[in-house]
Amino acid sequence: MSEEPVTFAALKELLHGVIVSQAETSKQMQETDKRLDKLSARVDATSATVDRLSARVDATSATVDQLSVRVDAALEKTIAKLGKKIDAVNENVGGLSLSIGHLVESMVEGGLLSQFQALDYTFTKYARDVNFDDSVLKLNVEIDFLLENGDTVMPVEVKTKLTRQYVNRFLRNLQNYHLYADARGDARRIVGAVAGGYVSEATRDYAHSKGLYVIRVYSDHLTKVLPTPEGFVPACW
């Protein structure tokens, strides 16, 4: 089969197509270059922003370091002052602990017995700093102040500042005293009371909720059995 000869017109048309294709490719490349330029500009701008943020972070870090040094110095001074205050408080507490005997004396001279008599407790004896030991039961009970008569015994816990923790400890002490008395055939009713030179309302209410009488020692010769809430029933052991 013989091939048809290539005409000038065909060559011209083919060349035109190549030129048009190259022009379109060149245009696309130019548009791509423009996009790359824009992207490069954005990258440069982002890089500059990152550099500024990094500078700010460095400055902030330096400020934090300076503040940390200041805080450490201030904290050391505060701890030193607090240590001195704690030492002073410890010294005061030591002094207060020695005044419990004084509080007991104030309760006796402040008409405590007559106040309980008004509550139908006629105590005929009292004692201070009483210890009860039982090696068999492994009990050691310390009572600050003990009121008693033929049918009732009232141990009293005395603190310069009465707290909920002291109340709980006294309740355990009362249980141990009950075991001690029961082992010796002492069937008298045991009723408890707590006393303090300072008694908060919360501590007072807590002690009352446990069935304990609460005594406030205000000053020399001024002692008061605090009023009990409505429906109060003393706990008995």
Q: pLDDT tens-digit profile of 6-64?
A: 676 766 676 666 676 676 777 777 777 788 778 777 877 887 888 888 788 788 877 87
What is the predicted pLDDT for the residue at 172? 96
DSSP 8-state code for residue 151: S
Q: Is 111 left (phi over 0), alpha (psi -120 to 50) or beta?
A: left
Helices 201-209 and 164-183: angle between axes, nearest 10 degrees = 30
Residues 145 and 132 in one domain: yes
- As a whole number, the mean pLDDT across the chain is 82
* CATH number for the domain that contains residue 202: 3.40.1350.10
Question: Is the pLDDT at 183 greater than 70, yes or no?
Answer: yes
Neighbours of 228 (CB within 10 A): 17
2 and 106 in a common domain? no
Residue 236 lies inside a defined structural domain of this protein: no
Can you say whether the dihedral through the CA atoms of 127, 94, 133, 164 is positive or negative?
Answer: positive
Provide the terminal-to-terminal Cα distance of the chain, rounded to the nearest Å: 132
Amino acid at 179: L
Expressed as residue numbers, the domain containing 169 is: 101-225
Which of 78, 98, 118 is a domain's end point? 98
What tokens were used for 34?
């423009």
pLDDT classification of 65: cutoffs 50, 70, 90: confident
**Per-residue pLDDT, 27:** 74
Cβ proximity of 126 and 113 under 8 Å: yes
In the chain, the number of structural domains is 2
Residue at 235 is within a domain: no
Q: Mind listing the pLDDT tens digit for each residue in 112-149?
A: 899 999 999 999 999 988 999 999 999 999 999 999 99
Q: Is the pTM of this model over 0.85?
A: no
- Specify if 234 maps to a domain: no
The last residue of one of the domains, among 31, 66, 98, is 98
Cα 64 versus chain centre, distance: 29
Chain CA centroid to CA 228, Å: 30
Separation CA 127–CA 111 (nearest Å)? 15
- Which of 48, 67, 98 finishes a domain? 98
